[in-house]
Amino acid sequence: MRTQIRKREEWTPTKDFLPLILGKEFGKELEDHEIEKLNLFEKGLAAELAKDDTIEQAVTKIVKMALAAEFGPSLVAAKGAKGMIDTISRSILTNPELRKQALIILDRFAHE
């Protein structure tokens, strides 16, 4: 009996990530600047998330990275940003669907 080995598909984060987060498939309608922001977000997550982060720490990192990718790192560093980040993070943690998505993101991007 021969064992068949399936070829592993290479994961392209941007194309797989958007339907997960936004709940719909995308074609070519994304503009270059949107793809650039997503790539920045994904690279930041890959660098920041660690497998030993708690879910609270991971969600906070995800929120910070999303804000930095969308609005620039100066927003995250601003004096009043901590309250906003905490509020968004709490909202994600208390919503079962968003919490599930955060765990999927953590699983995909966290390093050892």
- CA atoms of 79 and 59, how far apart (whole Å): 20
75: burial class by Cβ within 10 Å (0-12, 13-18, 19+)?
middle
35: burial class by Cβ within 10 Å (0-12, 13-18, 19+)?
middle
CA 78-59-68 angle, to 5 degrees, is 35
* pLDDT classification of 6: cutoffs 50, 70, 90: very low
**pLDDT for residue 1 is more than 70:** no
Per the structure, the complete domain to which residue 89 belongs is given by 31-109
Give the pLDDT score at 35: 79
Per-residue pLDDT, averaged over 19-45, amounts to 71
Report the domain count for the chain: 1
5 part of a folded domain: no
39 part of a folded domain: yes
* pLDDT classification of 8: cutoffs 50, 70, 90: very low
**pLDDT for residue 33 is more than 50:** yes
The highest-confidence range among 15-19, 25-29, 47-51, 83-87, by mean pLDDT, is 83-87
4 part of a folded domain: no
**pLDDT for residue 73 is more than 60:** yes
